[in-house]
A = this chain, B = another copy of it.
């Protein structure tokens, strides 16, 4: 008889030491039956506690303005690299927090999860809310892929507050409601008050409330801020004494300024210890001095907390600022300077995208757009598009969405891309200046292009000289990668994936160019069959290719100990036709529209949009030197050659 598969094993898949968050290296081509459970925040905490690997987390509040939202999202991207286990977004009842507005708590948390790939906790307050309202918020959060809730009572509207019949009087009620309505779906966090809740009947009554919240189903506790390590440590001791066994995370507040400290203290009804006030008062007009002191004070307190052995992770109230928190984390050695990438692209934290392990290369610089256009997919194709069961890409008419917006203002864009364009060549110059990162004639560095919102990636920088050369001559590159023949997965520039592996790439080049160039290019490409695969398409969809019309070409792959091959990036012929629409539309939406209608500048961009081709080239022979530059050279040689004499 055939026995059941073995149950005995020693797991060597190993939780990595580096930052988890959803950037965690959980890539596994064979999700086990309980992959869902293992991926929960409380399970991640459990694993980190077991391996004695302290983490940090970051708290943000929702922005007030639309441009604030754009800024906050890029802050998420930057701070995500440092490796927070999670972030959390506060809930402001007065700010329509559950709405679809780009400044709502709900939308910010959703963006953090879906577009920034960050494990996130959404705060939720229940006071003065109907059960229906709360359930609607929770349902929406679940629908958006949020998996964690910080259950709070919140402040009552008006001055006084009374228990409501059948409503929510305490956070405990909210915890019970979540467990009752959503079973075990959410991980639930509750607030702890190391010095007692200001409205509770004393410290011990408050401890009892905390016990009730945990007993009702909370998974862990984050505390209100405090100023002395011993405050927190004796609080934890008291919690343990009455049987609270879940993780209790200290809320850390690096003092960043005199005013913000006073405001916070007023809101939270805390008292600042004398020894801190004595230092701060004399320097209250010197922001830098206060910030430096705040960093130093936080670092010292955190060291005591970590040394105590009872603090598994530190929670930072960032006030939506970066510098102080990052400084503290750097000094504690918790900030990850050189994050390992589990895949060449950042993984979304939406639960249904957990198994996603391949994307078309085209959106490499526009991952949020790719996520947006595939958000309605129920399954993520395993490197295979174009079969009838795959859903289509969503349309992209929503360039206004804050998480897809350029970080730059219209004025900044005009300075970079030219207040006035005089010819196609002035467009070539913009591209060239972007590649070289040099200032243009009006003294502005070109920091982005419609297809690349960030400066050149370190990897692309390897190709800088060649890219500059071809852009100058009208090969307007928007995406490229060098060939890589088995570099260690730990390589700081091109590495990704688990340790001990090897990564590979085929050289890739994608550019817009004129139809004259394409005519010459097609002649030249005949010499490079079958080494080079190409797709050449214009805005009308005229498509020239030597590739199979359904078969993706893997251009990035990795080999790892004890694993199947991972091939996260492909040139996929089917999705290229969707990308082509987006790539051409960006000329108009992001660039031409900066100028007046009928203006010469706008007409130049429109001309390029209407007449240029989008070309992608893959050099299949990855162990040899990249031949794509030779292809372009040959094309220019052909164009430069005198016309052939008649025989």
Contact = CB atoms under 8 A, between A and B. Distances in A.
Contact of A545 (B6, B486, B564, B567): B6
A3 interface: yes
Nearest to A488: B623
A577 B6 contact: yes
Contact of A383 (B29, B386, B502): B29
Nearest to A618: B562
A534 to B, nearest CB: 10
Interface string A325-361: 0000000000000000000000000000000000000
Interface stretch (A101-109, A235-243, A547-555, A598-606): A547-555
A101 to B, nearest CB: 28
Interface string A524-552: 00000111010001000111111111111
A32 interface: yes
A1 B577 CA distance: 11
A382 to B, nearest CB: 7
Given A2-B392, A486-B623, A543-B9, A383 B531 contact: no
Nearest to A395: B2
Contacts of A573: 5-6
Interface stretch (A10-18, A49-57, A139-147, A303-311): A10-18
B548 A11 contact: yes
Contact of A623 (B382, B502, B548, B550): B502
A500 B530 contact: yes
A549 B2 CA distance: 17
A170 interface: no
B2 A541 contact: no
Nearest to A502: B623
B2 A393 contact: yes
A318 interface: no
Contacts of A500: 530-531, 620-621
Contacts of A7: 549
A67 B30 CA distance: 44
- Main secondary structure, interface of A, reads loop
Given A531-B500, A549-B5, A570 B564 contact: yes
Contacts of A618: 562
A578 interface: yes
A193 interface: no
A6 B543 contact: yes
A563 interface: yes
A13 B545 CA distance: 12
Contact of A565 (B395, B530, B554): B554
Contacts of A28: 548, 551
B388 A561 contact: no
A387 interface: yes
Which among A500, A533, A561 has the highest number of chain B CB atoms within 10 Å? A561
A384 interface: yes
Contacts of A29: 383-384, 551-552
Contacts of A548: 9, 11-13, 28, 562
Nearest to A533: B562
Contacts of A386: 5, 30
A557 B559 contact: yes
A76 to B, nearest CB: 30
Contacts of A392: 2
B387 A551 contact: no
A235 to B, nearest CB: 40
A559 B30 contact: no
B12 A530 contact: yes
Nearest to A498: B530
B30 A547 contact: no
B551 A562 contact: yes
A581 interface: yes
Contact of A388 (B2, B33, B564): B33
A30 B541 contact: no
A561 B531 contact: yes
A591 interface: no
Contacts of A227: none
A481 to B, nearest CB: 15
A421 interface: no
A60 interface: no
A554 B30 CA distance: 13
B10 A546 contact: yes
A646 interface: no
A8 interface: yes
A560 to B, nearest CB: 8
Contacts of A546: 10, 12
Interface string A612-623: 000000101111
A245 interface: no
A552 B561 CA distance: 10
B623 A541 contact: no
A533 B552 contact: no
A537 B387 CA distance: 42
A578 B10 contact: no
Contacts of A33: 387-388
A66 interface: no
B553 A564 contact: yes
A574 interface: yes
B545 A383 contact: no
Contacts of A550: 30, 32
A417 interface: no
B547 A12 contact: yes
Contact of A485 (B395, B486, B578): B486
Contacts of A623: 486, 502
Closest 5 CB pairs of A and B: A561-B620, A6-B543, A9-B549, A565-B567, A13-B548
5 contacts: A12-B547, A13-B551, A533-B561, A554-B563, A560-B620
Given A2-B577, A12-B547, 13 more contacts: A5-B549, A6-B537, A8-B543, A8-B545, A28-B551, A30-B386, A500-B621, A530-B561, A551-B562, A554-B563, A557-B565, A562-B618, A564-B570
